[in-house]
Amino acid sequence: MELKKKFGKRIQELRLKNNWKQSELAEKVGIASKTQSCIETGKNFPSAELIEKYAKAFNLKLSDLLNISHIEDTSILLKEIFEILNNAKDDDIKLIYKIIKGIIN
């Protein structure tokens, strides 16, 4: 996944975590709602100034805002999960199963 899309997903993730609409976040950082939408979908990439405004709006350090390492294609994430499970002990797998069931249900 390219950088623009990963960063857009990160901004969307943070916006949803704060229960904000796109228009609300756009207003907080001083851009149009359409521009916000284009950033979240990865069509546009924000300027350095706008990235700083996002960090301030989310009350995050720049390094935390730019942390996009966990955002990958679902197929890549599933592959990594299967690798982790293949190397896990039986007791760990049972615990992971319970955790996943608890989260999903």
Domain co-membership, 15 together with 35: yes
Domain co-membership, 8 together with 46: yes
Using 50, 70 and 90 to split pLDDT, how confident is the model at 1?
A: low
Domain co-membership, 10 together with 49: yes
The pTM of the full predicted model, rounded to 2 decimals, is 0.67
Closest CA to 11 of 45, 49, 40: 40
Domain co-membership, 49 together with 93: no
Domain co-membership, 58 together with 34: yes
Q: Which domain holds residue 49?
A: 3-65
- Average pLDDT (41-55) is 96
Residue 40: CATH number of its domain: 1.10.260.40
Domain tally for the chain? 2
Q: What is the model's pLDDT at position 2?
A: 86
> Could you read off the pLDDT of 62-74 as tens digits, one per residue?
998 998 877 666 7
Distance CA 8, CA 68 (A): 10
Q: What is the model's pLDDT at position 40?
A: 94
Query: Which residues contact residue 60 at a Cβ distance below 8 angstroms, ignoring those fewer than 6 apart?
Result: 14
